[in-house]
Structure 1
C-alpha cells in the first residue's frame, strides 16, 4: 500500500484543486476580478503557511543559500502567476472550454521538459496517457470545432497557461532536491504574493475584507484548494516522476465537472462521461506495473 501513497497524495491534492470553483465563483460575484482572486489565493496561502511554519516547521522556513530563491521565482512567478495570467486571459478571449483544454496540455509539456531537464524516460505508456488526458479534457469541456473566437494570439497565450502549469512540476523537482515539501510550498506562495500585490492593488478593496463572507471565502480559498492541495501534491512529487505526477493531477477537471453538475447545475453529457473515463483510465494505467502484479507460480501467494 505504501508504494501507492505518492500517487494518492498527488490525486488528493489535484482533487482539492478541482474544488476551487466553490470559492472563486462567490468571490467573482462579490466583485473581485480574476487576477485579484489569484492574489487573494496566494496571499492567504502564504499567511497559513507562515503560521504553520512558526508552530511546526521553523527549521524548514530557512533557506540554506539565499540564491536558491531562484527555484521559487520559478514555482511562484513563472508558474503560479504566469499560468494564472495566461489562463484567465484565454478564458476571456476564447472561452472557458478552450482555456481549460489548453491548460491541460501541461502533461505534454511536463513529459517533454522532464526528458530534457530531469532525464526522465519517455515510454509508450506515458505517451498514450498524455494523449488520453488531452482527449479526456477535450471531451469533458465539450470542445466545439466551430469556435470562432480562437485567434492565433489567444491560442499561443492558452498554450502558455499549459507551459506555466507544467513549470511547477519541473522547478518543484529541482527545489525538492534540497528542500522539504513545506519549504517549496511556502516560498512558492511567498514569492507569488510579493509579485502580485503591487499589480492587483488589493488595498483599494480593503473594505470588502471587513465582511465575514469575504473573509471566510478568502481564508477558505487559501487553505483548502491551495495550501493543503499544494502540500499534498508536492509531497507526492518527492517520490514520483514529474511526467507521471502531471498525468495523475489531471483528475482535477473530473472533480471540477462533478462539482459543476452537483452544485451549479451544469450540463454533463455522454462526451463528458467519456472524457472522465479517458482521464481516470490514464491515471490508473500510468501507475500500474503489470510485471509487479504477476505472482510467480512457484512462490505462491502470501498475505
Structure 2
C-alpha cells in the first residue's frame, strides 16, 4: 500500500508541475493588457521567446546536433512562430469569446494528432473530460464578449493556431524522448524567436518605446511565461499521455478569467462559476492518477462499510481494547 501511495503521489505531483504552464499562460492576458501595447503581439511573442531561449542556451552550452537542427526549426515554428502569427490574425478578426472557444478544442486536436503520430489511444474518460472542459470554457468566455459577426478567415486562423501548437507538442513528445527537456526547450525558443523577429519588424515596424513596467512585463513573460512554463509543460508531456496534458491546458482560460476579475474588474457570475467547475472537473477526470486515487478511496470506503456491517460490535470492541492497551495515557483522567 505504501508503494502504491507513493506512485499516486508522484503522479499527482507530475500533474501539478504540468499545471504550472497553463496557470502561468493564463496570466499573460492580464499582464499584456496592463503593461504592454495591444497592437504589438508579434513583437511581444518574439521577446517572449528569443531572449530567454538564448539565456537557456548559454547556460547549457549545447547546440543542436544532426536532425535536431531542422527539428528545432519545425518545432519553433509550430509552437511559437506560426502559432503566434495565426493567433494574431484570429485576435484581429474574431470576437474574443469566440476565439477562446475555438481554442478550447485543443485537447481533441492533440488527441487526434497523438493517435496519428504516436499511436496513442486516448481513454474514454479523457475524451469525455475534453468535451466537458470545452463546454466549461464556452461558459467562461461567451458572456465576456462573444457578440459579433463570424469571420471565416478568423475562424480558420484560430483553428490553425490550435492545430499548429498541438502538432508541435505531439512532435516534441515523439522526438525528444532521449533529450534533456530544458535543452530542447531552449532550441525551440531560439528558433521560434528568430522566426518571429523579422516578421514582427515587417508587420509592426520598429520596436515600441516601453516604460520600465513594460520591460518588466516582458521579462516576466519571457523568463516565467516561456522559460518556466514550457519546461513544465514538456516535463508533463515526457511522462503523461498527450491527451491528459492537453486537458490540463484548459486551466489557461480559468486563470485568465480570475485575474481579469481581480485586476481588471471584469464581471463574474453564476454561469462563470459553473464553467470553472466544469473545467476543473475535466482536468481531474482526464488524469489516470486521479481516477485511480478516487477508485482506491471508493474501494476503501466500501471495504470499511462491509467490515463494520459484518464484524458487528465484537470488531469494535477488539479495536477499542487494543487502542486502550496501546495508549493507556489517553484514558487517564
Instruction: Quickly name the TM-score band, shorter chain normalised.
Output: 0.7 to 0.9
- 1:16–1:229: 8 Å Cα contact kept in structure 2? yes
| Separation of aligned partners in 1, 2:115 and 2:303 | 37
Cα pair 1:79 1:164 within 8 Å, conserved: yes
Of residues 51, 61, 78, the one that matches 1:44 is 51
Q: Which residue of 1 aligns with 2:27?
A: 19
Is contact 2:81-2:193 (8 Å) kept? no
Alpha-carbon spacing, 1:206–1:157, altered in 2? closer, same or farther (3 Å): closer
Q: Distance in 2 between matches of 1:153 and 1:195?
A: 23
Pairwise CA distance, 1:167:
2.0
Q: CA separation in 2, counterparts of 1:250 and 1:159?
A: 16
Counterpart Cα distance in 2 of 1:114 and 1:164:
13
Shift, 1:265, TM fit: 0.5
Which residue does the alignment assign to 1:87?
87
Greater RCO structure (CA 8 Å; 6+ sep): 1
**Does the CA contact (< 8 Å) of 1:93 and 1:149 recur in 2?**
no
| 1:289 equivalent in structure 2 | 291
CA distance, structure 2, for counterparts of residue 144 and residue 14 of structure 1: 20
In the alignment, which residue of structure 1 is the partner of 2:242? 242
The Cα shift of 1:49 comes to 2.0
Q: Which residue of 2 aligns with 1:208?
A: 209
Unaligned runs of 5+ in 1: none
How many matched pairs? 290
- Superposed CA offset, 1:5-43 (max 9, x none): 2211111121111111233124543x7512111112112
What TM-score results when the alignment is normalised by the length of structure 2? Answer: 0.79
1:142 aligns with 142
Change (3 A) 1:204 1:124: closer
| TM-score of the two chains, using structure 1 as the length reference | 0.87
- 1:9 pairs with 11, 14, 17, which one? 17
Task: List alignment gaps of at least 5 residues for structure 2.
Answer: 1-8, 308-333
Q: Is the 8 A contact 2:54 2:186 kept in 1?
A: no
Name the residue aligned to 1:256: 256
Instruction: Give the Cα separation in 2 of the matches to 1:28 and 1:41.
Output: 12
Shift of residue 154 of structure 1?
1.9
How far apart, CA to CA, are the structure 2 residues paired with 1:207 and 1:98?
29
Q: Is the 8 A contact 1:27 1:37 kept in 2?
A: no
Q: Is the 8 A contact 1:101 1:134 kept in 2?
A: yes
How far apart are 1:144 and its partner, in Å? 9.0
Name whichever structure is richer in helix by fraction.
Answer: 2
1:168-247 counterparts in 2 under 5 A? 168-201=168-201, 205=206, 208=209, 211-247=211-247
Report which stretch shifted further, 287-296 or 269-278.
Answer: 287-296
Quick check: 1:18–1:225 contact (8 Å CA) kept in 2?
no
What displacement does 1:193 show? 1.2
How far residue 191 of structure 1 moved from its aligned partner, in angstroms, is: 0.3
Quickly say closer, same or farther: Cα 1:235–1:263, change in 2 above 3 A.
same
Q: Are the structure 2 counterparts of residues 120 and 265 from structure 1 closer, same or farther at C-alpha, using a change threshold of 3 Å?
A: same
Rounded to whole Å, the distance in 1 between the matches of 2:274 and 2:82 is: 31
Deviation of residue 204 (structure 1)?
A: 6.0
**Structure 2 SS opposite 1:122:** coil
Q: Is the contact between residue 26 and residue 255 of structure 2 (CA under 8 Å) also seen in structure 1? A: yes
* Deviation, structure 1 residue 147: 4.0
Q: Report SS of the residue matched to 2:268.
A: coil
Question: RMSD of the TM alignment (CA)?
Answer: 2.6
Whole-angstrom distance in 1 between the partners of 2:255 and 2:144: 22
1:136 CA drift (Å): 1.0
- Alpha carbons 2:107, 2:247 under 8 Å: kept: yes
In 2, the alpha carbon distance for the partners of 1:206 and 1:248 equals 34
Secondary structure in structure 1 of the residue aligned to 2:264? coil
